[in-house]
């Protein structure tokens, strides 16, 4: 039931190392996110990205349903 939001690949690695599925580790493009995005493809194919944490959280809540 946990999700990881981060703006660096090290944040995504942390979530994966905790045992979260990659689908629950989200990269936001604010902060260092845009510069991290280019390097994410090789290490994390299919990594979900969002312009900011607000839109990422909205997507998570929409998936969870009422």
- What is the per-residue pLDDT across 3-45, written as a single tens digit (0 to 9) for each? 999 999 999 999 999 999 999 999 999 988 888 887 777 888 9
pTM of the model: 0.86
Q: Is 5 helix (H, G, I), strand (E, B) or coil?
A: strand
SS3 state of residue 18: coil
Which has the closest alpha carbon to 24: 51, 60, 53? Answer: 60
């Amino acid at each position: 039931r946990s999700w990881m939001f981060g703006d660096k690949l090290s944040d995504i690695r942390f979530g994966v190392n905790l045992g979260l599925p990659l689908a629950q580790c989200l990269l936001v493009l604010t902060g260092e996110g845009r510069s991290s995005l280019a390097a994410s493809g090789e290490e994390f194919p299919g990594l979900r990205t969002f312009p900011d944490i607000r839109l990422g959280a909205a997507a998570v809540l929409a998936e969870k349903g009422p």
